[in-house]
Amino acid sequence: MIDKPLHEKKYNEEVDVEEKLSEGGILAKMFIEVQGNDKNMAKKALEKTVKENLLKEPKASVLEVRMFDLQKYETDKKKDKGYFSGVAEVKIVADNFPSFVNVVMRYGPTAIEITNPDEVRLDYEQMHALVSDVSALAQVYSNKIMTMLKDPERRLLYDKMLGEKDNID
């Protein structure tokens, strides 16, 4: 990743971060990465994820976004094959730990740095709600994957990616 971002912007400056933290909020940096064969499509996907989706999160406020230029990585130099990878560094404050976990599960950042607080305490109801949310999201992802694998062409592609040969049920 290049040290100097192409785009840097602050958002939600009216949010009282200290107040949110005193009420159980979580302050963190998330590094959201996108990869793709087409540089422009990868850039648009990253921008849409951050600017159209993450900024609209009801229980987390984006405080700052730093977008870095997409880099090209070669996978086969002889055949000029490769992919583009780009990163957005996003500073957020979530209302509480379960809300933070929900954001993390849905956006899948490649790295997370929790800045504050040093510890989190959850009561029984909060723990139950948290694991229920994680379970529900895992089920949604599982169902989507299973639906995609019903398509024989996709299944061949995934089997090839996973190193399995001619394994269609």
pLDDT in tens, 104-159: 999 999 999 999 999 999 999 989 989 999 999 999 988 988 888 888 887 887 77
Query: Closest Cα partner for 26 from 57, 5, 51, 71?
Result: 57
Selection from 86, 58, 46 nearest residue 70 by Cα: 86
Residue 56 belongs to domain spanning: 7-120
Same domain, 103 and 131: no
Query: Amino acid identity, residue 34?
Result: V
Same domain, 67 and 31: yes
Render pLDDT for 43-88 as a digit per residue (tens, 0 to 9): 999 999 999 999 999 999 999 999 999 998 887 766 667 889 999 9
In this prediction the pTM is 0.81
In a domain, 2, yes or no: no
CATH number at residue 13: 3.30.70
Same domain, 111 and 40: yes
